[in-house]
Amino acid sequence: MALGKFQDPSEVLAAANAAMAVIPNERLFVDADLHNRNLFERWCAGSFGVAYHRFVAHCEVAMNSEPDAADFTLHKKETQAKGPVFPFQTVEVMEPGRRRSQEYRNPRLTPYTPGQGAIDGPSWIEAGVRKKVHKRYSGAKQLNILVYVNFDAEALEYAEVSHRLTQFRSDFASVWVMAHHLVGAVFSTAELGSIAGWVLHRGLAN
C-alpha cells in the first residue's frame, strides 16, 4: 500500500471540495476518469475524518495512491505514542438502478418516492457491503468499511441498519455508515473507537 501524507481531515475535505467545485457535473459524474473517482474517495475520507475527529478522537487521514484494498488510512493520534492506523475501504450506496452518469448524459425529472430510503435503505446498504465481502480482499478482517449513503436518509433507522449489517462482524474489523447529515458505527473495535447510533454532523461535510 502506497500512502500519501497524513493530513488533518479538515484540510483533506477542503481540498476535495475546492477541486470538485471547478469540475462541471457532466465531467465529474460522467467521465470515466480515475482522478474524479479519487476526488470522491478523498471527499469521503475528509468528511469521515472530520466527524471522527469531533466525536471519537483526534486523527489524520492519508489517501492510498495505488490500487489496493484500502482507499484511505486513518491515523488515531494519541498523546504518548504515534498512535495506531486503520485502513478504510469506501462503498457508495444509491437506489438500485440509479446511475449518476445517466442522469447527466440525459437530464430529466427523476421520480421521487418520499420515505423510500427509510423503508428500503437498510437492504440497499446490506447489498452494498455484501459486494465488498464477495471481492475477498486480502486481509479483509483488518479492513474497515465506510458506507456512504447517497440517497434520502432523513428517516433512516439505525436499529434496522444495524440489524442488517451485524452479520458482517466476521468479515471486517468495523463497518461505519455516513450520509450527508449523519454518521455512526454499526460495529467497531475498542482500539478504533465507535459512535453509538447516529450523530448529526450536518454542516461538517457540506
SS (H, E, C) 23-91: CCHHHHCCCCCHHHHHHHHHHHHHHHHHHHHHHCCCEEEEEECCCCCCCEEEEECCCCCCCCEEEEEEE
Q: Is residue 2 part of a domain?
A: no
- Residue 177 has φ and ψ, to the nearest 5°, of -125, 135
Which of 25-39, 48-62, 135-149 shows the lowest per-residue confidence on average (mean pLDDT)? 25-39
- The overall average pLDDT reported for the chain is 85
Residue 152 has pLDDT above 90, yes or no: no
Q: Which of 109-123, 136-150, 159-173, 185-199 has the lowest mean pLDDT?
A: 109-123
The pLDDT value given to residue 43: 93
Whether 54 has a pLDDT exceeding 70, the answer reads: yes
Cell of residue 131, nine digits: 459486494
What are 93-116's pLDDT values in tens digits? 988 876 655 555 555 555 666 678
| The three cell numbers locating residue 25 | 457535473
Judged by average pLDDT, the poorest of 22-26, 49-53, 105-109 is 105-109
153 domain residue, yes or no: yes
In a domain, 206, yes or no: no
pLDDT tier, 117 (very low <50, low <70, confident <90, very high otherwise): confident
How many structural domains does the chain have?
A: 1
H or E element at residue 175: strand 174-178
Q: Are strands 59-63 and 72-76 parallel, antiparallel or unpaired?
A: antiparallel
User: How far, in Å, CA of 183 to CA of 175, rounded?
Assistant: 11
CA 102 → CA 25, 67, 91, 97, 151, distances in Å? 12, 26, 20, 10, 16
**Would 137 be classed as within a structural domain?**
yes
Predicted pLDDT at 204: 47
User: Do β-strands 144-149 and 85-93 pair in parallel, antiparallel, or remain unpaired?
Assistant: parallel
If you search the block for the grid coordinates 444495524, which residue do you land on?
162
Instruction: Please indicate, yes or no, if residue 57 is contained in any of the structural domains.
Output: yes
The amino acid occupying position 94 is M
pLDDT (0 to 100) of residue 102:
53
Burial class (CB in 10 A: 0-12, 13-18, 19+), 100: middle
Q: Is 106 within a domain?
A: yes
With CA atoms as reference, report the closest residue to 92 among 124, 63, 114: 124
pLDDT tens, position by position, 76-98? 987 656 789 999 999 999 888 76
* Range(s) of the domain holding residue 165: 9-200
- What pLDDT score was predicted for residue 133? 93
- Return the CATH number at 81: 3.40.1540
**What letter represents residue 62's amino acid?**
A
What mean pLDDT is predicted for residues 115-144?
89
Confidence of residue 66 (pLDDT cuts 50, 70, 90): confident
**For residue 55, pLDDT beyond 50:** yes
Given a cut of 50, is residue 206 above it in pLDDT?
A: no
Phi, psi (rounded to 5 degrees) for 144: -105, 135
